[in-house]
Structure 1
């Protein structure tokens, strides 16, 4: 698929980074003496109270990593309210082993060592961040980085660490006023500009830190406001249908067969007409053709208001109380316009295939209700128009207290976290050319550029609004609430018995509740009792058509692609249809959807014991311990049998024992070896255990679809080994190896099995051929299950070096580079049979084999500039995606540039440019069955562009 051009600017950025990194290959002798002197002069006190630059923040990050017992990486704010990136996720992508997913071009969710976002735990001051989605993954774009003092990533577990992560625990820490020692006020104002949306957006931030009563009481506060307008231009193909039918049929050719024993899905028997093209037998899978082309234009406006406050009280050196509170609101308005073309059938006389049997050119036909192609019925087009508003609210509150005695330290905390996501308005209007029987012949050609070219029989025929007649009118509302209350109590006892320094004990209890309510009233022309509405309305009617929001849709993309299409005006369309917004939202169809909604209550209790030890010389330091965890879940949701939906409770519980060992051995003050081993767990997502069951129990084998309230958690046994070399304050080099053996990996599949209700009783009945030996009825059950095991093996390389050994201005340069390699293997479970396909393996979903981060920085007292590069190789997004195609997200790289200049000791000007080479994000499909992969990137899934972002700001400190 990659005919994309590599921009000259991209090449120049690569040369700048790689060329400077070659300086690291200079002889060690040139700066060995300097390192020794630096180490001799190093102070035992590594804490730096005020961070004032890139080098200082990197030094603190290295100190945290060096002094940790396990494998830990950190990001330190360069100054109050100044993380290296405005977005927390984008700052985290600079950490070794972390990759991110982006929403509308902005960093959103975080993966660690290939583990998906919902398999990592994110906390603020030790309190869990709740989430707005169906799983535990947190979208960090709703969280301001301005209030953070540091971010720590714990990749290896200790018994005292809270369970719930297969990848890492990511700890976000706000600044403490009593550590700052003096009052400080920081005010910043930024103006941001997106070259795609062509909008200028404001961002304001205030940080205040102060101490009172002889430094016994401290206050740290933050207020922030941000408005941002995004635009995304996109195109998506909804899967590739295999085989391409010359005999008709939307989903595949008649006469296809399934043979799970041979690992084949929908194959063609020998002699089937769909196997042949120009007299050549294409094999059992025939040719693949695109199922649908969908061009999309997004306009999004969001507004974020947030704040935090921290109150500290230290009456003496042994006692401390801390109260933290944070809150934010995140409002989003989005307009989405989509143009769809669905051929259903490709004229075999016009098809052109590439070497991978993918149709790259063809004339699109439609088929009748019997699947018979009709050359006179061509070119179905749909204009889908959607408008929505979303309101997200987050609160997090915590109270911590600690007291140190002679040999005993006690601490306790209680916390509360709350997230609410509401969609108060969402409307969708669909206009379809097939509704009026108006057809437009067209062909497609994917050989002409980055995007498929659409060739209409009549020039600009898709722009004629009279061809589009109203097909459906939809409204939906949705609300998700997620809250957790937690309490913990810890004891540290100074044992000082031989090598054992301290013993730690602790208990923790939580109660979390996830609640979702949704409804979606939908009017279609085929529904009963809707004749009073204007089903003859077209986009050409007076006032119905709206203005296309942009005049440069995909202007810079090669190929004869779509650049605009007729869209609807919401208010005028509803008026012409004969309904108001209020009538649509309050229609009799708008009752909450009992099948889509759910309530899940999760209660956990945990206890641990851990010993911290150190040998007599202090060269060996470590901890060993075990954590015991009990989890109870009650999943409440709809169970639909026939036309009746019954709200049903399902209960599940499980116990886990999680041992851990962490060792740090110092060969010298500069060279450290680490080893860690342990068992970790991550709970199933709420969406996976929500019932949402549909049961069809006819005399034949029944069908059940939905969630699985009885899922067990993911479990992983993991081992880490790393070697680190520290060059005083000037740099470090580390090499790490890690291994994860994951059990009970959760995947969605279909199995033939009895179904047992919440009371443990199975369904009876059937004609004798669809029951098991106990008389229980057999069902085809499609739901998540705990699947077979999988393995992840990886390596991490981390290099940082101040080039202060070089002469003149060259000594102001610094370079940072890290690389992570992941290799994973997992068994394939056929989603149609639920059986493991022997002799097959695939990578874990969401895991990139290669990730790199590189930063080249230049810094003086008054001036600083930084060029950063981030790269993530392709990854499997879904083994069985649209039309059961394996879906990959293509590799992605991004260059970011930032600079700052101190006008004086109080005022600094900061400029930033994000995605300066204007990279696109793409995905593609590969062949199915999975074990017959052809490694093709030519079957485009989507092509999205978000453009560059720029900002300029002023920061004043008092």
Structure 2
């Protein structure tokens, strides 16, 4: 229920360049006629000395104009031309925005957080859009080729769909009336990735036209996109530290070292379409839709190098410490000044003992689809009154098949180093890890899961323009009614241990494959895994081999089927007045939301699944105030205050719970489950900013923000009494208090005043500082995933047919998990640095070519257990070289 109000920014006696900016936005499709309805801005005489605005400059100027004219605190990224962005998907684009951090793994950007927090809502053309059982869309699923722009709202207004305490990301696609007439473009791209050694094709295209007919103006647009991505993420890891030498209990180090190759092929199809009909200037009817389909076949090739010994045959499940009196003490060295093991080597002693190692290939095959369609209309009932309405339908489905097969090996000797090239280095001298005779079959895990989601969403809005001479210049009100369903399930009893009489690995055709080789030197470079194709093609035969027939039934304790009904009403006014010589304008509004939740699952009662149902409801009142003071023609001061809510994901509400069948020695049971009594997270948000717009593509802005949180949701263990039993129950719970505050600084400028070719340079800089905590039981910890410092440095160039971009991103260290695995220390991630570059050449008016490189610095993700000398992961990713040919007309 979002009504864009860009453009109403300045009283008549100020001479702004806003009318020219709005005209530019209209011409490029960034605003429609409906979104600037009721504007009355002065005409500005163009300056003949201004550099021509095209491409990169045009995108920067349009983004700056949107930010300047908006009521809310927001940042926009605008297409340089139809479908042309410097990145491949929305998540990658957002990595350039101040206050936004992304994580890149599995071949692309993935999770997105705003100001250090995940509590955001994603919109598609102002409508709620999501994954099957989540609240937000996986933003990598939207290719940039179908985008018009992306808006990142740090604050919300009463007319926006509720749901984001951290922010709102609104993805805007094009409509045919955004263009003057016929337009079409085709993008062909090939990517080469250095670690996966792959060359992947990508193709996208869009065609749009509009016609004047006897029944009015009609426009039609259609776009398609295909992306193939083959990737290789390389991980080497150490287990959490423990006492590994019996003779000296003060010495600690990892029991286990290991490697993981995350490899996969992702095929993504996406399409969008739109139809607009304008029978006259006062009425417009439209229909539009978006669909995506993702097939993702992956392998997670694990090697676990257990550094202890186990007795033959394999009967134990734990590791044995290094210094047991029955075995020879290993040779080891320490990190200087610490008791942490740095290197270690050992040989198997005489007797019936061996080193225990494990090869595991997890082979998920994911299939997901998402569709959204909408029909709507706008009617200017009178010159002052406008009415809009829209009906949307969203459907999503995701399923995964995940067989895991393990191989065991018994090397006689091992050497290991915990910190080589940043990660774990180890080798097994004299033992061929590529020989099938050196392996035997281990466990088999037959896993699967599936989820579905659907919603119907109707809204209607009315806006009355009261004139700029009045204190209350505009009134608006609206209603939104939505019904959403979500369901999920996974397998039951998926684990099957090895049996006697298992066949030799080498005797089964097609079973064993070499792992993908490591690109960096971590000792043992390659090992054998069960082939991914074999696992999926022989599922039934493998099940029989392990004593099971057919696919396992759903686990009733995982199953939930929820329905959420939402009714929202809002009222909003736009006002303006003079504070002395300073014009002030703003908005005030309130949104009233009634949410009814009906959740269904199963609980464990005396080891029997019993249906569980809970119904709950909440009513939330969400006020919002924005004020903008036009200090001069170039300076703007803002203040925004508002209340927002974020509902937990549907799985968190699952009323089902599981309690162990037997207690421990203290008579206490263990359990886990959802929590149907969860309250929505409440955010009380305040932003104040000062903005200087000294050129059409030049600005310096500073924003201070503070967020107060109530009912924040975390997974937490607590003692509960269930059916008379004392249970250590892990479930999502509300905690009482949290706070986040910080500062965002941003600078943008093209240096048009420089002579000759130097005038093509430009710079974008932004920096975010954040500090915050979450309080639980009197203890305050920073938010998980929050970096105190983050910044972007982007060098731009555009002159004649040439344009280029060099972008550097820094994200400071952050905590990934507190009390990791209940071991008493935190998992901390080192700073992450990323650099990308691109250069484009416009061959002629209709054709251009771009060469780009992602991951110039061969970035690493490095985390550690509490202190740097206790490393966990070192993760390395593909460096991607892309060549794109663009044609448009």
Same-fold status (TM-score > 0.5)? yes
Q: Could you tell me how far 1:97 is from its partner in structure 2?
A: 0.8
Q: Which residue of 2 aligns with 1:257?
A: none
Are 1:157 and 2:156 matched, yes or no? yes
Q: 1:785 aligns with which of 708, 733, 736?
A: 733
Q: Could you tell me how far 1:126 is from its partner in structure 2?
A: 1.6
- Residues 328-384 of structure 1: per-residue CA shift (max 9 Å, x gap): 211111123211122324425545444454333345799xxxxxx999734210111
Are 1:341 and 2:305 matched, yes or no? yes
Q: Distance in 1 between the 2:598 and 2:807 partners?
A: 46
Are 1:390 and 2:366 matched, yes or no? yes
Where does 1:95-494 land on structure 2 (aligned, <5 Å)? 95-116=97-118, 119-132=119-132, 135-214=134-213, 216-241=217-242, 244=243, 277=249, 287-342=251-306, 343=308, 344-348=319-323, 350=330, 352-354=333-335, 355-362=337-344, 377-406=353-382, 407-423=384-400, 425-433=401-409, 438=410, 440-456=412-428, 458-460=429-431, 462-494=433-465
Instruction: Give the secondary structure class of the aligned counterpart of 1:130.
Output: coil
Instruction: Give the secondary structure class of the aligned counterpart of 2:781.
Output: coil
- Residues 854-907 of structure 1: per-residue CA shift (max 9 Å, x gap): 211111131111111111112111113335342122211111111111111111
Q: Distance in 2 between the 1:544 and 1:377 partners?
A: 31
For the 8 Å contact 1:443–1:455, the answer to whether it is kept is yes
For the 8 Å contact 1:127–1:398, the answer to whether it is kept is no
- Residues 140-165 of structure 1: per-residue CA shift (max 9 Å, x gap): 22222211111111111111111100
For the 8 Å contact 2:122–2:137, the answer to whether it is kept is yes
Q: 1:590 aligns with which of 552, 562, 569?
A: 552
Unaligned runs of 5+ in 1: 1-35, 248-272, 278-285, 367-372, 756-762, 766-776, 830-835, 927-935
Q: Could you tell me how far 1:676 is from its partner in structure 2?
A: 0.5
Q: 1:546 aligns with which of 512, 522, 529?
A: 512
The alignment yields a C-alpha RMSD, in angstroms, of: 2.9
Q: Which residue of 1 aligns with 2:864?
A: 924
Task: Report the count of equivalent residues.
Answer: 824
Q: Could you tell me how far 1:703 is from its partner in structure 2?
A: 3.6
Q: Could you tell me how far 1:547 is from its partner in structure 2?
A: 3.4
The 1:561–1:609 alpha-carbon spacing in structure 2 relative to 1, beyond 3 Å, is same
Q: Could you tell me how far 1:591 is from its partner in structure 2?
A: 1.1
Q: Distance in 1 between the 2:203 and 2:685 partners?
A: 43
Q: Could you tell me how far 1:937 is from its partner in structure 2?
A: 2.1
Q: Could you tell me how far 1:44 is from its partner in structure 2?
A: 6.7
Q: Which residue of 2 aligns with 1:797?
A: 745
Q: Distance in 2 between the 1:220 and 1:520 partners?
A: 46
For the 8 Å contact 2:576–2:586, the answer to whether it is kept is yes
Of 140-149 and 440-449, deviating more is 440-449
Q: Distance in 2 between the 1:576 and 1:697 partners?
A: 34
Q: Distance in 2 between the 1:245 and 1:202 partners?
A: 49
For the 8 Å contact 1:681–1:715, the answer to whether it is kept is yes
Q: Distance in 1 between the 2:142 and 2:760 partners?
A: 33
Q: Which residue of 2 aligns with 1:510?
A: 482
TM-score, normalization by structure 2: 0.87
Q: Which residue of 2 aligns with 1:852?
A: 791
TM-score, normalization by structure 1: 0.81
Q: Which residue of 1 aligns with 2:617?
A: 653
The 1:388–1:486 alpha-carbon spacing in structure 2 relative to 1, beyond 3 Å, is same
Q: Could you tell me how far 1:441 is from its partner in structure 2?
A: 3.5
Q: Which residue of 1 aligns with 2:847?
A: 907
Q: Distance in 2 between the 1:698 and 1:717 partners?
A: 45
Q: Could you tell me how far 1:739 is from its partner in structure 2?
A: 0.5
For the 8 Å contact 1:232–1:945, the answer to whether it is kept is yes
Q: Distance in 1 between the 2:18 and 2:265 partners?
A: 55
Q: Could you tell me how far 1:500 is from its partner in structure 2?
A: 0.8
The 1:56–1:570 alpha-carbon spacing in structure 2 relative to 1, beyond 3 Å, is closer
For the 8 Å contact 1:477–1:520, the answer to whether it is kept is no
Q: 1:54 aligns with which of 37, 53, 56?
A: 56
Q: Distance in 2 between the 1:601 and 1:880 partners?
A: 35
Q: Distance in 2 between the 1:303 and 1:78 partners?
A: 26
Q: Could you tell me how far 1:518 is from its partner in structure 2?
A: 2.0
Are 1:721 and 2:691 matched, yes or no? no
For the 8 Å contact 1:471–1:524, the answer to whether it is kept is no
Q: Which residue of 2 aligns with 1:875?
A: 814
The 1:194–1:43 alpha-carbon spacing in structure 2 relative to 1, beyond 3 Å, is closer
For the 8 Å contact 2:418–2:871, the answer to whether it is kept is no
Q: Distance in 2 between the 1:160 and 1:103 partners?
A: 35
Q: Distance in 2 between the 1:651 and 1:294 partners?
A: 46
Q: Could you tell me how far 1:481 is from its partner in structure 2?
A: 0.9
Q: Distance in 2 between the 1:295 and 1:820 partners?
A: 35
Q: Which residue of 1 aligns with 2:767?
A: 819
Q: Distance in 2 between the 1:599 and 1:162 partners?
A: 24
Are 1:662 and 2:626 matched, yes or no? yes
Q: Could you tell me how far 1:807 is from its partner in structure 2?
A: 1.3
Indicate the structure with greater strand content: 2
Unaligned runs of 5+ in 2: 1-13, 30-53, 309-318, 324-328
Q: Could you tell me how far 1:572 is from its partner in structure 2?
A: 6.4
For the 8 Å contact 1:401–1:411, the answer to whether it is kept is yes
Are 1:76 and 2:38 matched, yes or no? no
Where does 1:555-954 land on structure 2 (aligned, <5 Å)? 556-557=520-521, 560-569=522-531, 579=541, 587=549, 590-615=552-577, 619-696=583-660, 700-755=667-722, 763=723, 765=724, 778-827=726-775, 829=776, 836=777, 838=778, 840-884=779-823, 885-926=825-866, 936-954=867-885
Of 38-47 and 500-509, deviating more is 38-47
Instruction: Give the secondary structure class of the aligned counterpart of 2:84.
Output: coil
The 1:542–1:329 alpha-carbon spacing in structure 2 relative to 1, beyond 3 Å, is closer
Q: Which residue of 2 aligns with 1:254?
A: none
Q: Could you tell me how far 1:90 is from its partner in structure 2?
A: 0.8
Q: Could you tell me how far 1:643 is from its partner in structure 2?
A: 2.7
For the 8 Å contact 1:735–1:796, the answer to whether it is kept is yes
Q: Distance in 1 between the 2:350 and 2:288 partners?
A: 67
Q: Which residue of 1 aligns with 2:67?
A: 65
Instruction: Give the secondary structure class of the aligned counterpart of 2:505.
Output: coil
Instruction: Give the secondary structure class of the aligned counterpart of 2:524.
Output: coil
For the 8 Å contact 1:239–1:883, the answer to whether it is kept is no
Q: Distance in 2 between the 1:606 and 1:365 partners?
A: 69
